[in-house]
Structure 1
Amino acid sequence: MSPQVLFQLHLVLGYVAWLLCFGAYIWPKLKSMAPFEAQRAIATLHSFRFFGLVFLLPGVVSPDLSASFAVFAAYGDLATGVLAMLALLTARMRPLFWLFVAAFNVVGSMDLVVDYYHAIQTDLPAHAGDLGATYAIPIIFVPVLAITHVAAFYLMLRHQPRTAASY
């Protein structure tokens, strides 16, 4: 199989595996939690997105990795991770918490969309070896990030009765 086919197969299977796991274990738990607690759990996962800066480390990725992909992916992940950390740090100040929850989900979702765009424009699947050690990020980490952004938006938008505990 060509590197392009292997990368695309890995990516699809990453989504399938995470959707199966998410549907069986994570989604039922998130839906049963108070909105604040569910968003805090999602923010905790996304707070590790600072790891995307690894796309800029020489020796970890190939010097041939497209800069238009690597730079945007790295800094988009960093921005999302910092916003998720700020959400966690402001958990006791609920209006700020919800502002940062919305912010990290909007920024993080847009980051993933633009990363996919850059990957297509630079034909990243055909050059997947240029990812080096970071190959696992788009295959294993990105699917769960995308899925949890969708879940976070759904949980934010679904009608919730307002109680003192959910502010």
Structure 2
Amino acid sequence: MSPATIFTIQLVLGYVPWLLILGTYVLPKLKSMDHFQVQRAIATLHSFRFFGLVFILPGVVGPDLPAGFAPSAAYGDFITGVLAMVALQAVRVRPLFWLFVVAFNVVGTADLIINYYHGVQLGLPDRAGALAAAYWVPILYVPALMITHVLAFYLLARPQPKTAEIIAGGLAS
């Protein structure tokens, strides 16, 4: 099999175990939580996206990593992680928290989509080995990030149950 085929298979299959984990373990727990707490948990996961700076760290990625891929992937992740951290710091001011939840999810989703696009355009699947020690990031980490962005948008689009709104309103006071 070619490196591009192996990379593509691993990239696609990276979503399968995360979706199984989500369906089996995470969703049952999240159903017992209000939207605020779920978004807080998602923000906590995304606060680790500073790790994307690894794409511009010499010695971690190979010298053959397409130059147009690394900065976009690194800084898009970094900005998303900072926005998620700011959301977590703003939990006491609910409107500000929700603003940063939307911001990190919009920026983070756009970042992942742009990186998929750039990766394909720059031939990254053919040179996947150039990811070197960062190879696991798109295979294991990115699917979890994308799935949680989709979950976050789904929850943002759904109205909260009345009891959750009353509780959230009472806590904000």
TM-score using structure 1 length: 0.97
User: What is the alpha-carbon distance in structure 1 between the residues aligned to residue 167 and residue 155 of structure 2?
Assistant: 16
2:136 is aligned to 136
User: What is the alpha-carbon distance in structure 1 between the residues aligned to residue 161 and residue 20 of structure 2?
Assistant: 30
- What SS does the corresponding residue of 2:31 show, helix, strand or coil? helix
Could you report, residue by residue, the CA deviation over 1:33-56 in whole angstroms, capped at 9, with x for unpaired residues? 111100000000000000000000
Percent of aligned pairs with the same amino acid: 64
User: What is the alpha-carbon distance in structure 2 between the residues aligned to residue 69 and residue 32 of structure 1?
Assistant: 40
How far is the alpha carbon of 1:153 from its aligned partner?
0.4
TM-score using structure 2 length: 0.93
The answer as to 2:2 corresponding to 1:2 is: yes
Q: Flag the structure with larger Rg.
A: 2
1:166 is aligned to 168
- Count of matched residue pairs: 167
- What SS does the corresponding residue of 1:32 show, helix, strand or coil? coil
User: What is the alpha-carbon distance in structure 1 between the residues aligned to residue 124 and residue 158 of structure 2?
Assistant: 36
Could you report, residue by residue, the CA deviation over 1:27-74 in whole angstroms, capped at 9, with x for unpaired residues? 222232111100000000000000000000111101111121110000
Runs of 4+ aligned residues of structure 1 deviating over 3 Å after TM superposition are none
CA-atom RMSD, angstroms?
Answer: 1.0
1:27 is aligned to 27
Letter in 1 for 2:15: Y
Letter in 2 for 1:115: N
Letter in 1 for 2:63: P
Letter in 1 for 2:129: G
1:35, 1:166 within 8 Å by CA — same for their partners in 2?
Answer: no
- What SS does the corresponding residue of 1:68 show, helix, strand or coil? coil
Could you report, residue by residue, the CA deviation over 1:116-150 in whole angstroms, capped at 9, with x for unpaired residues? 00001011111000000000000000000000000
User: What is the alpha-carbon distance in structure 1 between the residues aligned to residue 107 and residue 139 of structure 2?
Assistant: 20
2:92 is aligned to 92
User: What is the alpha-carbon distance in structure 2 between the residues aligned to residue 31 and residue 52 of structure 1?
Assistant: 30
Gaps of 5+ in 1: none
